[in-house]
Amino acid sequence: MQPEDQVTDGQLFSTESGFRTALNGIYVELSNNALYGGELSVDAVEILAQRYDFSGNTTNAYRLGTYNYTIDYAKSKFAAVWEKAYSLIANCNKLLEYAEKNEEVLTGKMRKMIIGEAMALRAFLHFDMLRLFGPVYVKEPSAEAIPYNESDKVSALPILSADTVMGRVLRDIHAAEQLLE
């Protein structure tokens, strides 16, 4: 028996409202502390950008600000960012997969909006992961960077070059742009 407070993917994506709920859930989770509710807005990236003065102390934040990525503090912060971003990317991919499967549920402008926003979010998250974990793009565009996940399955993906990742980001952005006109 299924718990009353849980919904299967099939149930969620059986109505237009379910698709909107799933998309809204992705937007809500962007504000998670591991992403834009903390690490990617006022915490880790701001420490790395030297926006805080930690001189004279030996806190974990100070060590992160001196680019010491070997401490557990840094490892846990970056692991949380990576895990949450790729979790939301998988959610975007699941939404896109069900939009393809359930064409009769999503139609017209709502279909274009839902698919366009999911593609744009997938591109946005990959771009930020490239920005944080990839090479300096203008200096090493052919260097290995990150995986580009286009599936909702959990599996090891090949590490792609920064050029390849940017090509896919731009492809998704252009597709989203056309759908959202």
pLDDT tens readout for residues 142-158: 999 999 999 988 788 99
Q: Is it the case that residue 30 has pLDDT exceeding 70?
A: yes
Q: Is it the case that residue 7 has pLDDT exceeding 80?
A: no
Residue type at 125 in one-letter notation: L
Rounded-to-integer distance, Cα 72 and Cα 15, Å: 44
Phi, psi torsion values for 74, nearest 5 degrees:
-65, -45
Assign 136 a pLDDT band (cuts: 50, 70, 90). Answer: confident
**Local structure of 120: helix, strand or coil:** helix
Q: Average model confidence (pLDDT) for the chain?
A: 93
pTM reported for the whole predicted model: 0.92
**Local structure of 144: helix, strand or coil:** strand
- pLDDT of res. 56: 77
Q: Which residues contact 36 (CB under 8 A, 6 or more apart)?
A: 30
What is the average per-residue pLDDT within 8-13?
90
Q: Is it the case that residue 4 has pLDDT exceeding 80?
A: no
Other CB atoms closer than 10 Å to residue 57's CB: what's the count?
9
Q: What is the pLDDT of residues 170-179, one digit of tens each?
A: 999 999 999 9
Rounded-to-integer distance, Cα 103 and Cα 87, Å: 24
Phi, psi torsion values for 110, nearest 5 degrees:
-65, -40
Q: What is the pLDDT of residues 55-70, one digit of tens each?
A: 778 889 998 998 999 9
- pLDDT of res. 2: 58
Q: Is it the case that residue 1 has pLDDT exceeding 70?
A: no
CA 41 centroid distance within chain: 14
Asked if 173 and 117 count as a contact pair (C-beta separation under 8 A), the reply is no
Q: Which residues contact 80 (CB under 8 A, 6 or more apart)?
A: 33, 34, 39
3-state helix, strand, coil in the chain (%, to 5): 55, 0, 40
Q: What is the pLDDT of residues 95-133, one digit of tens each?
A: 999 999 999 999 999 999 999 999 999 999 999 999 999
Rounded-to-integer distance, Cα 123 and Cα 4, Å: 34
